[in-house]
Structure 1
Amino acid sequence: MALVFTITPSIQRAVVVINRVPSSKFPLLLSRILQKLHLKDERTFSEDEEDRLQSALALSDDELQLVLETCEFFLHQAAYHAAKPTVLSQQLSKLSLDEDKVEAIVDAWQSGAKQVIEQLRQQQMLPKRLDDIHWALSLEMATKQESRLKEANACLQLTLRDDQTRSLDKVSLEMNHEELYDFYNQLETIQTQIDSLS
């Protein structure tokens, strides 16, 4: 899948504001965004820094947030697609970004791409991961209504480890034959997709 930016109303508004940002200050803004791009729960700028940025760039709070979010989006997409500089430049130019802004984004991407991609690769998408599985089978032989009932159920207990808090959570599942078979097919689909990526 190739890198493609869709022109949405939000991106159109952002492009107008980004084009107003002074060319001398824009690369510094991008540099800071790239440094913090891999950090999920950390803001790129503190509140004090954002106040100073608003003054320095002559932007309102909403405009500054739009610029930051859009630049982060551009760089995240570039990282996700491991975009080549020429492709990134072409896609950004299609959005009507001024040439100096396109060059600044591409230059920032060229200088920081390798490090950002490596940092994002090391990052886990979810803080919890599967640590252990226990299972058991049970067979229900009869009920008051049916004396010849034979229904098999699988009982799974998944132990999930939270890498941030180091805690363990246990999730219990009970599935009949049909549900277990559907679950197995979904796992096979996931395995096939992972195999196709490697």
Structure 2
Amino acid sequence: MDEQKQVSPLVKMGLELGPVLAFFVGYLLVRDQVFTIGGRDYSGFIVVTAAFIPLLLACTGLLWWLSGHLSRMQVMTAVLVVLFGGLSVWLNDERFFKIKPTIIYLFFAGLLGVGLLRGQSWLQYVMEGMMPLRPEGWMILTRRLALFFAGLALANEVVWRTMSTDAWVNFKTFGITVAMFLFFMAQSKLMQTHGIVQKD
């Protein structure tokens, strides 16, 4: 098994969030423009999506090269970006890319739900080294996170189906990031109640 290498948290954050921020900035720059390529007109959203795909893959590959490890979520995100982003570009239809977050969040909500039905916290399997919790703490956190992911999937559907592309880009770039930060901040009491104090 490959040993995971230590990577600077700032470098890791830059490689994970950099492509998302680049997408946001790129969209702001060209959102009102139409590009004619090969006789077809493409909106700025589609052009930025086409640029986002190789950028995300490059950053994901660099993260793997530096750390020797990628999480399941990172791998799945890369696969779905290629699939749904590619469909958006190929079919010149932005809806495919907008539905990608829904698929990701439903997948993880369902995956955690299956584990819960089996009486297991599959979240513990992935994150145990990061957050030492007692088994009951992992089960509570897993239930909450499964519901949270389902809520994000629903929110993404509501936003992209009822609001403008500008609103969706802002929601995807900032809304989801803030929601995740607040969710984990809200788990501080759970961490205190069910956390395991590690002794030296």
Structure having the larger proportion of residues in strand: 1
Alignment TM-score > 0.5, same fold? no
TM-score by length of 1: 0.24
TM-score by length of 2: 0.24
Bigger radius of gyration, 1 or 2?
A: 1
